[in-house]
Amino acid sequence: MSPKKFVDMLHSLWHLTHPGQDCGEESMAVISDVGLQQQMLYDAFSNPTDVSPMMGLPAMSSDVEEMEQRAHKLRMETILPVMPLLIGQSDFMGACAAVLHIHKTDDDLTPEQVEAVHVVFTNIIKASVVASVSTAVSLGVLHVNKGVVTTDEQ
């Protein structure tokens, strides 16, 4: 996504979350694609420094890695109250995606293969949901106002 398209998307999101309010210059947050991608890797994977070069992202100095690790911890602390909801929804959507995928294939899968499909889809969705929500919160377009738990966790 080009930087202009990303800024335009943020601008639209800001207006959705602040109806009728003036969006002066200081209300817009801008982050580079590389910065956003690095942030998403930290929030989605346990080994972001291993994934980063595989994705063609530039190397970071140890100081920047430390800074990003601290920022990641802060983002995770901020979304912690809604993490049960995010993980619960991700588990459900991962199961749905896996069932639909298996249903559309004609292969006879072993139980181990079925489990592997479920794990892959669920992990992809969890990583995407957590990284997306943490990014939206860190950019100020989404606020966590209270915790949410599912009925299974009470």
Helix or strand (DSSP H, E) at 71: helix 62-79
pTM surpassing 0.75? Answer: no
Q: How far apart are CA 30 and CA 10, in angstroms?
A: 8
Most distant CA pair in the chain: distance in Å? 58
Can you say whether the dihedral through the CA atoms of 5, 68, 24, 19 is positive or negative? positive
Two structure tokens written together for 81: 């109250």
Q: Compute CA distances 151 → 3, 10, 154, whole Å.
A: 41, 34, 6
Q: Is residue 23 part of a domain?
A: no
Q: Is residue 7 part of a domain?
A: no
Q: Is residue 13 part of a domain?
A: no
Q: Is residue 21 part of a domain?
A: no
Please state the domain count of the chain: 1
Domain boundaries, position 132: 31-153
Q: Is residue 85 part of a domain?
A: yes
Q: Is residue 118 part of a domain?
A: yes
Q: Is residue 11 part of a domain?
A: no
Q: Is residue 35 part of a domain?
A: yes
pLDDT in tens, the chain (154 residues): 666 676 667 667 666 666 666 666 555 556 678 888 899 999 999 999 999 999 999 998 999 999 999 999 999 999 999 999 999 999 999 999 999 999 998 778 899 999 999 999 999 999 999 999 999 998 888 999 888 877 765 5
